[in-house]
Structure 1
Amino acid sequence: MIHQVHGDAVYSYTGGKPFNPDQPTIVFLHGAQNDHSVWALQSRWFAHHGWNVLAPDLPGHGRSGGAALRTVEAMADWVLALLDAAGAQQALLAGHSMGSLIALEAAHRAPARVSGLALLGTTWPMKVSDTLLAASKDALPSAIDMVNIWSHSGPLPRPACPAPGFSSTGMSRRLMQRLAERNPADLFHTDFSACNAYANGAAAAAGIACPTLFVLGARDVMTPPRSAQALTSAVKHGKIVTVDAGHAMMAEQPDAVLDALVAFAGGVRQ
């Protein structure tokens, strides 16, 4: 579905379902150098089980127009504008990696509009090494390779892989390459810089009152579970679910991630 947000055409995957004001809404927010497709299984399930789904490509990513936004705060404001464009007064926000910071900041800025938060592969501060920041600007193929190696728990597909010969690392690498080809203006560097610079995590987390779920990857080396303690400690009522996966948990353990989201969303919906 296409919406107009801040004068630009925005693509959101909706599962092919029209917006129904009588249903709850869930928004799936992707991470750096990704698009809506990383949520393929989870977004489709919700779309076919009584939820309005918005899985947008952020500005400058995938099929959405406009330039990539340079701060988490600007992305959070953009998400709230997307809710306006879609006609959703309130939504559950599910964000992965950079998307988790966007969801957190959006809930901080407009708490009445966020019914729940699901933060996956999250941490704060979400610092990026100087080496990776430099590579994301000046040696993009190397940066893509590094992130893909670090995001997956191993070189082989997990038992839930869709078919023999399927490579989640290969699929992730090709997605990042395609996004770089389609949106070449330092997209990866812009995303990484936004994560690295975001400074409002502690204040945002301390003020969260809505139901909150943390989904952490036991083998995640990009955002290790121990690094999320500042967030999980700040949100006293938050629930933590750990899945046997690396940072790319939606690909490595899609069913476990979906199960965690379904159980959490059922409580939010009631």
Structure 2
Amino acid sequence: MPTIPLRGHLAAYDDFGPTTAHPLLLVHGAGHDRGIWQAVAEGLAQAGRRTIAVDLPGHGSSSGDACLDIDAMADWVLAFADAAGLGRFDLGGHSMGSLVALAAADSAPTRVGRLVLIGSLAPMPVAPFVLDAARNDPQQAHALINKFSFAPAELIGEARRQALEEANTARMQRNGAAVLASDLAACDAWQNGLAAAARRRGPSLLLCGEVDRMTPLKAVTPLADALQAEGNARLVVLAACGHGMLDENPAAVVQALLED
């Protein structure tokens, strides 16, 4: 696991694939870390794509306090790209990470080539009872997030769903209750997504799960319409996948990313 000194702390990341290839920088979601990208990044690397998955501050192995809002996270991601020697790069994110990617692309449009938003929504409101649980009852928060994160057992099987929930719980526990609560509050507060999407001029991919109950397909329309204002965006729906599509079907995510 390489690290880069950044703003008085260490930024941890994984770098997959040939370093000579055009880089895709990936940002994880709320309460997660770079490990969520492992299977996807490995699949892209096998296809000859360079993929860099980073831990935001206070997440995974990156030191420092977690950023308190989406714009601060986006600023940090661009600073990481500078520190990593990335000039022009593609940028993607899952859930909260998609908002971070969108904000960063809006802030530095000439640097970000392709933008990939996975499990995204703008705005991305978080139910008050989930926010309250994240602040006061982390175990309940984990249960609620797991409930809405994955496809139903009727589609993927009871054993598979249980394994996904257990892995997701372990990931959230590893990153800590305070980080999860802060991340969810940041998602809930950020209101600049549609305006940023409307300003987007480069190629964009919006990747949605067919049975996503956290960022449901029917609610994605405003973001999709804003991104498609210039006719340079593509919407892909993954069958039988929920919000946790990176875990549920990483091969399908890889295929969607390779199609452009």
Q: Which amino acid aligns with 1:218?
A: E
Aligned to 2:61: 63
Count, aligned residues: 255
With over 3 angstroms needed to count, the CA separation of the structure-2 counterparts of 1:155 and 1:172, relative to structure 1, is farther
Contact 2:152-2:161 within 8 A present in 1 as well: no
* Displacement over 4 Å in runs of 4+: 163-166
User: How far has the Cα of 1:32 moved from its partner?
Assistant: 0.3
TM-score (norm 1): 0.89
Following superposition, the deviation at residue 141 of structure 1 comes to 0.7
Indicate conservation of the 8 Å contact 2:43/2:251, yes or no: no
Measured after TM superposition, the shift of residue 49 of structure 1 is 3.6
Tell me the distance in 2 between the aligned counterparts of 1:225 and 1:91: 28
Structure 2: distance between partners of 1:57 and 1:85? 14
Residue 28 of structure 1: which of 17, 26, 29 is its match?
26
Contact 2:153 2:161 (8 Å CA) reproduced: no
Aligned to 2:142: 144
SS in 2 for 1:247: coil
Change beyond 3 A, Cα 1:164–1:190: closer
Match of 1:2 in 2: 3
- After superposition, the C-alpha distances for 1:66-123 in whole angstroms (9 at most, x for unaligned) are 1010110001011100110110101111110000000000010000110111101000
Mapping of 1:216-227 within 5 angstroms? 216-227=208-219
Q: CA offsets, 1:173-224, max 9 Å, x none?
A: 11111221xxx5x111100010001011121001111110011011000000
**Residue identity opposite 1:251 in structure 2:** D
Secondary structure of the equivalent of 1:235?
A: helix
CA positional deviation for 1:48: 4.0
Q: Select 1:253's aligned residue among 249, 254, 258.
A: 249
1:185-204 aligned at under 5 Å gives the runs: 186-204=178-196
Q: Work out which of the residue numbers 199, 203, 213 in structure 1 matches 2:205.
A: 213
Identity of aligned residues (%): 36
Q: For residue 241 of structure 1, what is the aligned residue in structure 2?
A: 236
Provide the C-alpha distance between the structure 1 equivalents of 2:50 and 2:118, rounded to a whole number of angstroms.
20
Residues in 1 aligned to 2:162 and 2:130: alpha-carbon distance in whole angstroms: 27
Select 1:41's aligned residue among 30, 34, 39: 39
Tell me if structure 1 keeps the 8 A contact 2:44–2:254.
Answer: no
CA distance in 2, matches of 1:216, 1:196: 19
Contact 1:157 1:252 in 2 (8 A): no
Q: How does 1:99-138 map to 2 (within 5 A)?
A: 99-138=97-136
Q: How far apart, in 1, do the equivalents of 2:41 and 2:4 lie? A: 18
Q: Name stretches of at least 5 consecutive residues in structure 1 with no aligned partner.
A: 265-270
Partner Cα distance (1:211, 1:55) in 2: 20
CA deviation after TM superposition for structure 1 residue 259, in Å: 0.3
Cα distance between partner residues in 1 of 2:156 and 2:51 = 27
In 2, are the aligned partners of 1:23 and 1:51 still within 8 Å (CA)? yes
Q: 1:165 to 1:31 in 2, by over 3 A?
A: closer
What is the alpha-carbon root mean square deviation over aligned residues? 2.0
Give the Cα–Cα distance (whole angstroms) in 2 for the partners of residues 67 and 226 of structure 1: 35
